[in-house]
């Protein structure tokens, strides 16, 4: 089974040494793909956009009014 990471108990030098000895079990291409899918600017933008849709219930989205379309000018 290909791993993406190892969990090591906090402050465990022995655990860290063991994990380092097993680095050949990690597929660097999979790690990069996971990082790009979850932590890239595009992924961040997609999450933020989804948060807005969830919070605002898609009101005013795509209607040219932005999210503040129901506010009156003072």
pLDDT tens sequence for the chain (74 residues): 666 788 999 999 999 999 999 999 999 999 899 889 989 999 999 999 999 999 998 665 555 545 454 444 44
Tokens of 53: 């849709």
d(C-alpha 64, C-alpha 41), whole Å: 24
pLDDT value at position 4?
A: 77
pLDDT value at position 40?
A: 93
- pTM for this model (two decimals): 0.48
d(C-alpha 21, C-alpha 26), whole Å: 11
pLDDT value at position 15?
A: 96
pLDDT value at position 61?
A: 54
Note whether 8 and 19 are within 8 A (CB).
yes
Tell me the backbone φ, ψ of residue 6, rounded to 5 degrees: -125, 140
């Amino acid at each position: 089974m290909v791993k993406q990471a190892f969990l090591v108990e906090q402050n465990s030098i022995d655990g860290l040494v063991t994990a380092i000895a097993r680095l050949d079990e990690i597929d660097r291409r999979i790690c990069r793909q996971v990082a790009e899918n979850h932590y890239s600017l595009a992924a961040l933008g997609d999450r933020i956009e989804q948060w807005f849709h969830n919070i605002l219930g898609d009101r005013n989205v795509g209607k040219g009014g932005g999210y503040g379309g129901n506010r009156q000018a003072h």
